[in-house]
Amino acid sequence: MRNNPIGILDSGVGGLTVLAAIAKELPQESFVYAGDSANTPYGNKSEEEIYARASQLIEFLLTKNVKLIVIACNTITVSCLDRLRVEYSQIPLIGTVPVVKTAAFVTKNKRIGLLSTTRTAKSDYQKKLIETFASDCIVVNLGNDEIVPLIEKGEENSEEMEEVLKKALVGFQKEGIDTLVLGCTHFPFLKERMQKILGDSISLLDSGGAIARQVHRVLQHNDSLSHETTHQITIFTTGNVKIVKKLLHGTIEVKAIDIETFTYEYDH
């Protein structure tokens, strides 16, 4: 059990940024990743659809004998994490939410920006996070549904992305924030580009480090930290293998998967 892999899932490639953070914290752990890029984005789906798709991804990861599953997607987490925890009580599920608490702690001018998908931005879950942890701050909470599809198309470096980002960030610049929370796991792929647009006076925070530490704590508590000296990472995608490989700079094996039948094949 100890040396079994950690499962990670997302609506697409975003969770790979979380995988990188966990692998840095726990280099001896192995990973199986399931990304549903063929059906991304989840932000414009109903709660029922999101629940159904997330369940399929979990079922797939369970067939890989994972010891813990990270829901590396804010949209799934705010929509149905509680329900998934009831349905899959046999395995620890760790969700992803924007690091509002950290932002409220580090901001100097008490003006925080929160960039996520529209579904996450409008969720009760996020409203509660703001009320609980940042009630003494002005929080500029903006949703955007253009960025995720462009990353999924492999256009993270395109001109179009530059325009979309400038448009998405101007609202935060106008409000004079000093801290921006990235409330979608796809966004860290664009951290450098965002920082260039916003300038160095604004700090960008993502959830990767916090999730990695939480995974560490849970595995330690359950006495299931790996004792291996080497690790293995396998990536499954319902989408385009080439795009996923490009994002990973071709270093890790990527397999195409049919999530309905759980059948998969190597690079194609």
Q: Which residues bind ligand DGL (CB under 6 A)?
A: 10-12, 14, 40-43, 73-75, 117, 120, 148, 184-186
- Judge whether 35 and 237 are in contact, CB under 8 Å: yes
Q: Which is nearer to ligand DGL, 50 or 112 (CB)?
A: 50
Burial of 267 (0-12, 13-18, 19+ CB in 10 A): exposed
- In whole angstroms, the minimum distance from the beta carbon of 33 to ligand DGL comes to 13
User: What sign does the dihedral 239-81-5-191 (CA atoms) show?
Assistant: positive
Choosing from 6, 69, 73, 81, which is the catalytic residue?
A: 73
Question: Is there a catalytic annotation at residue 184?
Answer: yes
83: left (phi over 0), alpha (psi -120 to 50) or beta: alpha
Residues comprising the chain, all counted: 268
Tokens of 234: 């396998």
List C-alpha distances in Å: 174 to 139, 140, 168, 178.
13, 10, 11, 11
**Could you tell me the maximum CA-CA distance found in the chain, to the nearest angstrom?**
52
Choosing from 16, 70, 184, 204, which is the catalytic residue?
A: 184
- In whole angstroms, the minimum distance from the beta carbon of 75 to ligand DGL comes to 4
- In whole angstroms, the minimum distance from the beta carbon of 76 to ligand DGL comes to 7
DSSP strand pairing (179-183 vs 254-258)? unpaired
- In whole angstroms, the minimum distance from the beta carbon of 185 to ligand DGL comes to 4
Question: Is there a catalytic annotation at residue 73?
Answer: yes
Tokens of 102: 């950290």
State the catalytic residues.
73, 184
